[in-house]
Chains A and B, each alone.
Chain A
Amino acid sequence: MNTPNPALRESATFDRGVISEIQRAAETGIYDIRGWGAKRKLPHFDDLLFLGASMSRYPLEGYREKCDTDVVLGDRNAKFPLHLDIPITIAGMSFGALSGQAKEALGRGASEVGTSTTTGDGGMTPEERGQSKNLVYQYLPSRYGMNPDDLRKADAIEIVLGQGAKPGGGGMLLGQKITERVAGMRTLPMGVDQRSACRHPDWTGPDDLAIKIIELREITNWEKPIYIKVGATRTYYDVKLAVKAGADVVVVDGMQGGTAATQDVFIEHVGIPTLAAIPQAVQALQELGVHRSVQLIVSGGIRSGADVAKAMALGADAVAIGTAALIALGDNSPRYARQYEELGSAAGFYDDFQAGKDPAGITTQDPELSKNLDPVEGGRRLANYLRVLTMEAQTLARACGKSHLRNLEPEDLVALTVEASAMARVPLAGTTWIPGAL
């Protein structure tokens, strides 16, 4: 970073970002609210490497020998579990946070490659249901738009207890995005700040949740898989309790998970990295004897086929993407560089999702801006991206000698750093050492 005078020395404690935030806080009297996920550097999948096959393992021929990718989710109790062609799903993002066009595009893209998409904290829209072959309906603390008809239209139900960007925090959709349609779906006045509850109103713990799950199963004739989504924090305990409560699928959302709008201090300072959460979740499932029969979906910063493969090697059955899906649709595209600059940001940096002024037409309710996203084109871009993720993961799996992505295992991985080694519970590269292992 250039300074006006080379002799000037920037404080590591009070760098320009910190100074700017103090000045902003003093001026406005409110914490910084933004979208996206954690921006600080965290131990991540990049800190792991695959051990491709050589002598002790036997690789498969790329693009010639089959490497399957399908996954079945929720076959423990539900009459109709989800059969997905690829183990990469679309995470819950609300209509309200996203435009109708964006939700439609997500449905189109996901359906094209045989995977699922997920509603969010705003109810189910006809566009989304219409375009999503497999739609997971989120059952959230706010219960905005919750009704039994939509529950029955869903292919699975995801009970949301937490989100990686803000475990323990509720939703936040600021008044500038609350149009007549959004307000109507949420039974609230237009223009008010919609602060969704951080906890479910009619149960207070895992014992209650077990009964709530039975109620949801009764209402939907025991047909739908029940997911439970938690923000990654005390993951080992949360996953155990979720299974005990009756979850068919557990979704663990790591700290790198995105959000439409939340306090920056929350995004950056609550939760644990995705990498650290997976082994905890897998250990909990293994100790209960349900690993693979209660499926694990991992989300929070998944970007590439390598991330997908590594998450699965650590024990996930599938992953979910949110922020990456929005980028695939066109979020932060250089195409809108001028408009981002006019908003005081830049392509690649834009995170003011709460403002509703997204020139890409994705995180907005402005009808004119929304037109900038063609749902058909967006869906095609998302499908392309999902195909690339899948092919990348297959390539890595074949190199490890695996004929199915689910056959990847921790033994296929090593860590580059001590931190990643300890969190992921795989050896530091070139050693047999896993910090903390017995």
Chain B
Amino acid sequence: MAPVATTEATVLNLVTSSTRAVNERLTSPEAPKTVTVTGPQGAHALACGLDSDIDVTIDGHVGYYCAGMNQHATVTVNGNAGVGVAENMMSGKVHVKGDASQSAGATAHGGLLVIDGNAAARCGISMKGVDIVVGGNIGHMSAFMGQAGRLVVLGDAGEALGDSLYEARIYVRGTVASLGADCIKKEMREEHLTELRELLDRAGFDADPSEFTRYGSARKLYNFHVDNASAY
């Protein structure tokens, strides 16, 4: 294993260490509770597979799959994130202070993903229980085949939002370019306003839930019926 440069055992420097060495340190039973990773330089698969309540701050931009399959940990990226940040997260929290590339939070089963900036296409694709809150806009095909969880967007959404949606719920404050197959606008009832307020608070956003619109599945594609064939 390459040597890991540390100061006071809490700073890991990716300029002088490999991603493998840093990840090994973060996942070891002796990992410090609070860690700062410097010099990420767009490294891929950084801080993935974490499995404890460790608090990791990454100072800089990260590449693909940062914090992938996270369990329990809190990961903060002081920069932008590449494709698939927090993909398949199970629990914990991932916070991207900048923008995120496509497929943010893909297939994630739990936890909270917060993106202060924009998220590109397919944000929350096939989400399975995660909560995602995006401060800016999201790209096309977001929440495609979303199964469970909540996606909150303070900005605008691109085309085909929620295409082939199952039971995931979507809240958008801005405009929606178009809705995907089987995705419809739904009434904002009191329980939804409460749910949204709680999500915004957890994510650290000050916004009025009443300004949002809820979207969900029309459930017409749950079982094939020939009369709905044109919807596919």
Binding site for B on A (CB under 8 A): 28-30, 142-143, 146-148, 151, 175, 186-189, 191-193, 197, 201-203, 208, 211-212, 214-215, 218-222
Contact = CB atoms under 8 A, between A and B. Distances in A.
Contact of B125 (A201, A211, A220): A201
23 contacts: A29-B229, A30-B224, A30-B226, A142-B126, A143-B88, A143-B107, A146-B109, A148-B51, A187-B148, A188-B147, A191-B223, A192-B166, A201-B103, A201-B126, A202-B102, A203-B83, A211-B44, A211-B64, A212-B65, A215-B64, A215-B68, A218-B48, A219-B69
Nearest to B128: A187
Contacts of B20: 218, 222
Contacts of A151: 69
Nearest to B229: A29
The B interface, classified by DSSP as helix, strand, loop or mixed, is loop
A188 to B, nearest CB: 6
B226 A28 contact: yes
Contacts of B129: 187
A197 B126 contact: yes
Given A191-B223, A193-B223, A202 B48 contact: no
B144 interface: yes
Contact of B144 (A146, A201, A218): A201
A175 B223 contact: yes
Contact of A188 (B88, B166, B223): B166
Given A30-B224, A202-B103, A214-B45, 12 more contacts: A146-B88, A148-B69, A148-B71, A189-B166, A193-B222, A197-B145, A201-B107, A201-B122, A201-B144, A208-B83, A211-B45, A211-B64
B48 to A, nearest CB: 5
B90 interface: yes
Nearest to B148: A187
B65 A215 contact: yes
Give the one of A143, A203, A218, A222 with max B CB within 10 A. A218
A119 B147 CA distance: 21
A148 B49 contact: yes
Contacts of A218: 19-20, 23, 45, 48-49
Contacts of B63: 211
B180 to A, nearest CB: 14
B17 to A, nearest CB: 14
Contacts of B145: 197, 201
Contacts of B126: 142-143, 197, 201
B84 interface: yes
Interchain residue pairs A-B with the least CB separation, the first 3: A29-B226, A219-B49, A202-B106
Contacts of A208: 64, 83
B202 to A, nearest CB: 21
Contacts of A143: 88, 107, 126, 128
B106 A201 contact: yes
B107 A189 contact: no
A219 B109 CA distance: 16
B87 interface: yes
A408 B204 CA distance: 65
A73 B147 CA distance: 35
A191 B222 CA distance: 8
B1 to A, nearest CB: 11
Interface string B16-42: 000110011001000000000000000
Interface in B93-148: 102-103, 106-107, 109, 122, 125-126, 128-129, 144-145, 147-148
Contacts of A147: 69, 88, 90, 109
A29 B68 CA distance: 42
Given A143-B88, A203-B83, A189 B109 contact: no
A247 to B, nearest CB: 17
A331 B135 CA distance: 54
B167 interface: yes
A158 to B, nearest CB: 16
B90 A215 contact: no
Nearest to B66: A215
A202 B122 CA distance: 8
Contacts of A203: 83-84, 103
A192 B49 contact: no
Contacts of B229: 29
A193 B222 CA distance: 6
